[in-house]
Amino acid sequence: MTSPPSDPPPHPVRPLVARARDEAHRAATPLELFFDLCFVVAVAQAGARLVHAVAEGHAGEGVADYAMVFFAIWWAWMNFTWFASAYDNDDALYRVVTLVQIAGVLVLAAGVNRAFEDHDFLVVWLGYLIMRLAMAAHWLRAARGASGPERTMALRYATGVLLCQVGWLALVLAPKAALPWVFVVMALAELAVPAIAERRHDSGWHPHHIAERYGLFTIIVLGETIAAATVAVRTGVAESDELGELLPIAVGGLLLVFAAWWVYFVVPAHRRLLSNRQAFLWGYGHYGILGAAAAIGAGIEITVEQATGKAHLSATAAAAAVTLPAALYLLLVWGLHARYFKTGAAQQLVLPCAALGILLCTFAGRWGVLAAGLVAAAAVATGVTLTARTARAGARETPGAPPDARGTQGG
């Protein structure tokens, strides 16, 4: 009995043409998973600097810097993800250009400290430049293998990417006071590129593949949150032996992350990706979802530093570093896709009420993280109960109908 032949190595160069939008079994590739893991290195760097800024009493400045750096990370990741969903041919040239993008994000990560401490964005810009040149190369390859409206779309993408990269140079040259305005203008310009490029022809992304890619990146970011919180608690215990202070933070943080995972994956997100308009809103909204998920981990680190006397802020302010991003995360997940799969006012109100309850936990001070975790866990339990009742009622009305395998676990 002979063993089946192994997959052949990738061809050096193949035409980069659009894949079928209804392709069966379209799943994330090992290269895409590697891409995600390398991007999380930059997310971790941004989160660590946010912790330092808030702990030193520079919360406003730290959040602004975090928003700018995280946008660069997220936008580069998102652009490649949607491109790969439509055009990934997995030849050797495609792999090399993608690896160049990974090198770019590692350069960007190396510049995060200087961006936060000195508002020096030169290294961040250089890393972004490497990523964006590689992305433009992908689009130019796609344009070469296309014709008509598809070719126009690809060329518009390449042109928009390169023009925006030139615009971002203002972040390096502008005075410190102008940096927030430069960021707002250039972020809006970046967001406009896909809408303009796909005005008459969309890129043919695959709904199931996109939903999976976003889900996987959300999992990785939540995993980074758990890792950061674990290191913070371990360090706090080792240096101060304040287990009684840190245990409620650890338990509450864990409950928050568990609830964040549950509410995100409880519904089939791909069902919302029916058109470009819906997809743009859904994809762009994940800037807030992913940024908030990463910020929860940073907030947990801040509460640990406050509990051990390292952070120069009150217990209420430290709790807010967790409750604010947690509440934002729940609201955005509910607004972007969860609410479309809920029936009745009771199910619709679970996540918004939970977000409000988590915000109120801010005033619990050093118990705020534990209280927020308990509120999040109660929201999940309530959602499960309400959805189960709805499913049972539907089964009684339609005997013999098979239950939906997904979207029936509440939250």
Residue 409 lies in a domain: no
Do 195 and 270 fall into the same domain?
no
pLDDT (average), residues 195-214: 87
Residue 188 lies in a domain: yes
Residue 276 lies in a domain: yes
Q: Which pLDDT score, from 0 to 100, does residue 128 have?
A: 93
pLDDT at 1 over 50: no
Give the range with max mean pLDDT: 39-43, 56-60, 166-170, 246-250. 166-170
Of 181, 201, 221, the domain-final residue: 201
For residue 21, what pLDDT band results from cuts at 50, 70 and 90? confident
Do 182 and 312 fall into the same domain?
no
Q: Which pLDDT score, from 0 to 100, does residue 399 have?
A: 53
**Are 72 and 186 in contact, with CB atoms under 8 Å apart?**
no
**Are 204 and 273 in contact, with CB atoms under 8 Å apart?**
no
Q: Which pLDDT score, from 0 to 100, does residue 331 have?
A: 94
Q: Which pLDDT score, from 0 to 100, does residue 240 have?
A: 66
DSSP state of 402: P
Q: How deeply is 393 buried, as exposed, middle or buried, from its count of CB atoms within 10 A (0-12, 13-18, 19+)?
A: exposed
Task: Give the pair of three-digit tokens for residue 325.
Answer: 């991003």
Do 230 and 94 fall into the same domain?
no
Instruction: Report d(CA 291, CA 66) in Å as an integer.
Output: 9
Residue 9 lies in a domain: no
pLDDT at 273 over 80: no
**Are 142 and 87 in contact, with CB atoms under 8 Å apart?**
yes
**Are 50 and 224 in contact, with CB atoms under 8 Å apart?**
no
Q: Angle between the 315-336 and 368-397 helix axes, to the nearest 10 degrees?
A: 20
pLDDT at 261 over 50: yes
pLDDT (average), residues 210-230: 88
pLDDT (average), residues 292-300: 92
Residue 381's CB is within 10 A of a number of other CB atoms, namely 15
Q: Which pLDDT score, from 0 to 100, does residue 48 have?
A: 86
Q: Indicate left, alpha or beta for 200 from its phi (over 0: left) and psi (-120 to 50: alpha).
A: alpha
Residue 18 lies in a domain: no
Q: Which pLDDT score, from 0 to 100, does residue 233 have?
A: 77
> If you average pLDDT over every residue of the chain, what do you get?
85
pLDDT at 295 over 70: yes
Tally of structural domains, the chain: 2
Residue 277 lies in a domain: yes
Q: How far is CA 232 from the centre of its chain?
A: 22
Phi/psi at 331 (nearest 5 deg)? -65, -40
For residue 154, what pLDDT band results from cuts at 50, 70 and 90? very high
Q: Which pLDDT score, from 0 to 100, does residue 77 have?
A: 92
**Are 377 and 259 in contact, with CB atoms under 8 Å apart?**
yes
Q: Which residues contact 314 (CB under 8 A, 6 or more apart)?
A: 306, 365
DSSP-assigned states of every residue in 153-204: HHHHHHHHHHHHHHHTTHHHHS-GGGHHHHHHHHHHHHHHHHHHHTSSS---
pLDDT (average), residues 110-138: 91
Q: What is the CATH number of the domain that holds 302?
A: 1.20.1410
Do 195 and 225 fall into the same domain?
no
Q: How deeply is 126 buried, as exposed, middle or buried, from its count of CB atoms within 10 A (0-12, 13-18, 19+)?
A: middle
- Per-residue CA distances from 240 to 251, 312, 333 (Å): 18, 16, 37
Which position has the higher pLDDT, 398 or 137?
Answer: 137
pLDDT (average), residues 366-385: 91
**Are 296 and 223 in contact, with CB atoms under 8 Å apart?**
no
Residue 5 lies in a domain: no
Do 391 and 326 fall into the same domain?
yes
pLDDT (average), residues 394-398: 57
For residue 395, what pLDDT band results from cuts at 50, 70 and 90? low
pLDDT (average), residues 220-244: 78
Do 82 and 223 fall into the same domain?
no
pLDDT at 311 over 90: no
Q: What does the pLDDT look like over 337-368, one tens digit per residue?
A: 877 777 778 888 889 999 999 999 999 988 99
pLDDT at 327 over 60: yes
Q: Which residues contact 63 (CB under 8 A, 6 or more apart)?
A: 50, 53, 54
pLDDT (average), residues 283-294: 92
Instruction: Report d(CA 308, CA 304) in Å as an integer.
Output: 6
pLDDT at 137 over 80: yes
- Which has the closest alpha carbon to 100: 76, 83, 123, 121? 76
Task: Give the pair of three-digit tokens for residue 258.
Answer: 């568990």
Instruction: Report d(CA 216, CA 309) in Å as an integer.
Output: 36
**Residue 338 belongs to what H/E stretch?**
none
Do 253 and 390 fall into the same domain?
yes
pLDDT at 30 over 80: yes
Which position has the higher pLDDT, 15 or 193?
Answer: 193
Do 166 and 232 fall into the same domain?
no
Do 214 and 289 fall into the same domain?
yes
Instruction: Report d(CA 156, CA 159) in Å as an integer.
Output: 5
Residue 253 lies in a domain: yes
Do 282 and 351 fall into the same domain?
yes
Do 61 and 194 fall into the same domain?
yes
Q: How far is CA 110 from the centre of its chain?
A: 20
DSSP-assigned states of every residue in 369-398: HHHHHHHHHHHHHHHHHHHHHHHHHHHHHS
Do 165 and 43 fall into the same domain?
yes
For residue 392, what pLDDT band results from cuts at 50, 70 and 90? low
Q: Which pLDDT score, from 0 to 100, does residue 51 have?
A: 87
**Are 36 and 217 in contact, with CB atoms under 8 Å apart?**
yes
pLDDT (average), residues 74-99: 91
**Range from 293-297, 335-339, 390-394 carrying the lowest mean pLDDT:** 390-394
**Range from 3-12, 175-184, 232-241 carrying the lowest mean pLDDT:** 3-12
What percent of the chain is modeled with pLDDT above 90?
A: 42
What percent of the chain is modeled with pLDDT above 70?
A: 90
Of 145, 179, 201, the domain-final residue: 201
Residue ranges making up the domain that contains 378: 208-397
Phi/psi at 204 (nearest 5 deg)? 75, 30
Of 183, 201, 219, the domain-final residue: 201
Q: Which residues contact 308 (CB under 8 A, 6 or more apart)?
A: 236, 239, 240, 242, 245, 246
For residue 273, give the 3-state DSSP assignment: coil
For residue 320, what pLDDT band results from cuts at 50, 70 and 90? very high
Q: Which residues contact 84 (CB under 8 A, 6 or more apart)?
A: 29, 32, 98
Taking the CA atoms of 338, 263, 223 and 124 in sequence, report the sign of the dihedral they define: positive
